Structure 1
Amino acid sequence: MNKRSRADWQGYIPAITTPFDANRNLDLPALGMLLEWLHSEGMHGLLLAGTTGEWPSMSTDECKTLFSAAGAQLGGKLPLLAGCNAYTASRVLELADHAAASGFDGIVVTPPPYYRPSADEIHGFYADISAETKLPICVYNWPPGTGIDMPLALLKRLAALDNVVAIKQSTSDLRRFVDTFFALRDRIRIFGHSMDEHGLALLEARGGDGTMGAGAVLGRTHPDFYNKLWAGDIAGARECGRMDRVILDEWYTPELVGRFGSGPAILKAGLNAQGLPGGYVRPPLRDVSAADAERIRETLVALGRI
């Protein structure tokens, strides 16, 4: 069953940071400024309360507050996806119901972390959510965060669930991404194209839906990779991809683990260095050191962002 038309998601959709103030409280004014900037920079959609959004350290009520604020500001202006991750389907559905009421367009869900559930248990988890949610689901395969790299056989089973319309395939194994892409791209949307020569070659040859990246610290450069590709400006897309690759190589390991601390801390330092509302991370995460903040700033200077 082809469910691609049930979601108009495409291009660059960043998982955004969640601003916390110096007391580590949710900073709604800063969130409003961040959302305004991201929208003005031409993002093709936004994902809130994902891994980059520090969902594990937020309460259910805080996630709901985040969804309400974002929906009120940007609902209907671009696709909004809610990170609705939890250990149980019931909590996922509680968050999904609020996201739907707030004007969101879909939810992104990982397998339950920590437990390391079996394939049948993961399928049952998503089946319970699919049967009850009002919103389309993007399955998120995130091995660094869940400890599970879902095999293609399981992803095929999940793609058959009625409300699953997309997969965010964030494995660091290029072959596993390619296998997922070719097996399921005619049935659901597949996100995870790398914005480098490998990704560009695949997108040019066979098309593709896009990338759910992290933070969007380079602003318009990220969505312009796809804008230029769609316009036939391959050289321009390649340059945007090169800039994205610089921050990936300098700030992260090949396994997508931060070199200077957590991903949210690095991205918030990058936003703060540009005078944008990054803010602070919330414990147990720690903000990057002053020396590492300077290294992050130097990367942005070299890329012409500062």
Structure 2
Amino acid sequence: MTDAYQDIKSKLQGSITALVTPMKADGAVDYDALAKLIDWQIAEGTHALVAVGTTGESATLSMEEHVEVIRFFVKHVGGRVPVIAGTGANNTLEAIELTAAAKDAGADCALLVAPYYNKPTQEGIYQHYKAISEAVDMPQMLYNVPGRTVVDISQETVERLMVLPNIIAIKDATGSVERGVALIKAVGEHLVVLSGDDPTALELIKHGAKGNISVTSNIAPKAMSQVFELALAGDFEQAAQIHDTVKHLHKDLFCESSPQPAKYALYKMGMIDKGIRLPLVWLSLDSQPIIDAALAKANLL
């Protein structure tokens, strides 16, 4: 493994925000708001940022927009924190193209969601990731989120993939502590294991996970960065005390399909405009009081 890969591995830790992609009321990407969000996240202590992940509405951005948002992220962050670019697709050639574009843009790592909808076998999943790894020489992170993709990267497949030199990490969004612990035991010496599930992330840190790729940190970045800094330092008592002030958000921000609640919350906080793209819609009137109450409880209004 190259020194550059080792360097980024050491930086993939703490609170990592899967940032929303702010949009104007007509659905156009709002780059001014994106710049403000990036600056706020970094000022609040966020340790790394994910551009155009699931929370960033990657599924509804065009290829050109997807690449442009990654370029904007890298340029605006300016090396202050690592930029992880969401470049996954269920079309292997498209994933290769996006990953190559992320490398050209200067992203620090590519985040590759398991190929959704096609329902590939484990061999198909392995060959998908192997092809991307061989095609693009940059640090790459596996992303297992079966609740969205309807496919599940088995631990055995992860173990096959971890020997590829540029696959350096995995985002485990299964939501299962038991599975996460087993994964850490099996691959933790080779891959950085990050939680992708806010409710179980702190528990996984206790077992050796290095951080959390978070939805909640979109709206509570300071608290989440403090929680994971303390946890990584071994101070789980203080981490839990801070976590208690925001942990209700983990549930409330999924009262409807994400990122609908997170975008509404950021709008209420004065951070973004009222923009989202179909088939996602603005948070319903029935759910808005849930987020209003959650923000008030967390002292975010």
Residues 166 and 4 of structure 1, relative CA distance in 2, 3 Å threshold: farther
Match of 1:255?
none
Q: Find the aligned partners of 2:88 and 2:81 in 1 and give their Cα distance.
A: 22
Give 1:78 deviation, angstroms.
0.5
Q: SS at 1:281's partner residue? A: coil
Contact 1:269–1:278 under 8 Å retained in 2 = no
The answer to whether the aligner puts 1:268 opposite 2:292 as a matched pair is no
Equivalent in 20, 23, 26 of residue 26 of structure 2: 23
TM-score (norm 2): 0.92
Match of 2:58?
55
Give 1:271 deviation, angstroms.
1.0
Q: Which moved more, 1:120-129 or 1:231-240?
A: 231-240
Q: SS at 2:250's partner residue? A: helix
Residues 225 and 195 of structure 1, relative CA distance in 2, 3 Å threshold: farther
Q: SS at 1:167's partner residue? A: strand
Give 1:173 deviation, angstroms.
2.1
Deviations 1:117-157 (A, max 9, x none): 01111111101100011321100001111101222111111
Q: Find the aligned partners of 1:248 and 1:200 in 2 and give their Cα distance.
A: 12
Match of 1:229?
231
The answer to whether the aligner puts 1:250 opposite 2:264 as a matched pair is no
Residues 288 and 202 of structure 1, relative CA distance in 2, 3 Å threshold: closer
Match of 1:300?
295
Structure 2 counterparts to residues 173-252 of structure 1, below 5 A: 173-192=176-195, 200=202, 203-204=205-206, 206-214=207-215, 216=217, 217-231=219-233, 233-251=235-253
Contact 1:195–1:225 under 8 Å retained in 2 = no
Deviations 1:231-278 (A, max 9, x none): 554333112322342112334xxxxxx32x211111101111211126
Q: Find the aligned partners of 1:279 and 1:97 in 2 and give their Cα distance.
A: 32
Alignment-mate amino acid for residue 224 of structure 1 = Q
Q: SS at 2:259's partner residue? A: helix
Contact 2:14–2:47 under 8 Å retained in 1 = yes
The answer to whether the aligner puts 1:287 opposite 2:277 as a matched pair is no
Residues 114 and 14 of structure 1, relative CA distance in 2, 3 Å threshold: same
Match of 2:107?
104
Contact 1:83–1:107 under 8 Å retained in 2 = yes
Q: Find the aligned partners of 2:272 and 2:196 in 1 and give their Cα distance.
A: 27
Contact 2:177–2:204 under 8 Å retained in 1 = no
Alignment-mate amino acid for residue 239 of structure 2 = A
Q: SS at 1:288's partner residue? A: coil
Alignment-mate amino acid for residue 123 of structure 1 = Y
Q: SS at 2:247's partner residue? A: helix
Unpaired segments ≥5 residues, structure 1 = 252-257
Contact 2:50–2:86 under 8 Å retained in 1 = yes
Residues 110 and 34 of structure 1, relative CA distance in 2, 3 Å threshold: same
Note the aligned Cα RMSD (angstroms): 2.1
The answer to whether the aligner puts 1:44 opposite 2:53 as a matched pair is no
Match of 1:254?
none
Contact 1:46–1:81 under 8 Å retained in 2 = yes
Q: Find the aligned partners of 1:163 and 1:231 in 2 and give their Cα distance.
A: 28
Alignment-mate amino acid for residue 205 of structure 2 = L
Contact 1:265–1:285 under 8 Å retained in 2 = yes
Match of 1:128?
131
Q: SS at 2:243's partner residue? A: helix
Alignment-mate amino acid for residue 264 of structure 2 = A
Structure 2 counterparts to residues 80-91 of structure 1, below 5 A: 80-91=83-94
Residues 6 and 268 of structure 1, relative CA distance in 2, 3 Å threshold: closer
Match of 2:14?
11
Match of 1:147?
150
Q: SS at 2:152's partner residue? A: coil
Contact 2:198–2:215 under 8 Å retained in 1 = no
TM-score (norm 1): 0.90
Structure 2 counterparts to residues 153-172 of structure 1, below 5 A: 153-172=156-175
Give 1:199 deviation, angstroms.
5.2
What is the count of residue pairs matched by the alignment?
A: 297
Q: Find the aligned partners of 2:8 and 2:49 in 1 and give their Cα distance.
A: 17
Give identity over the alignment, percent.
26
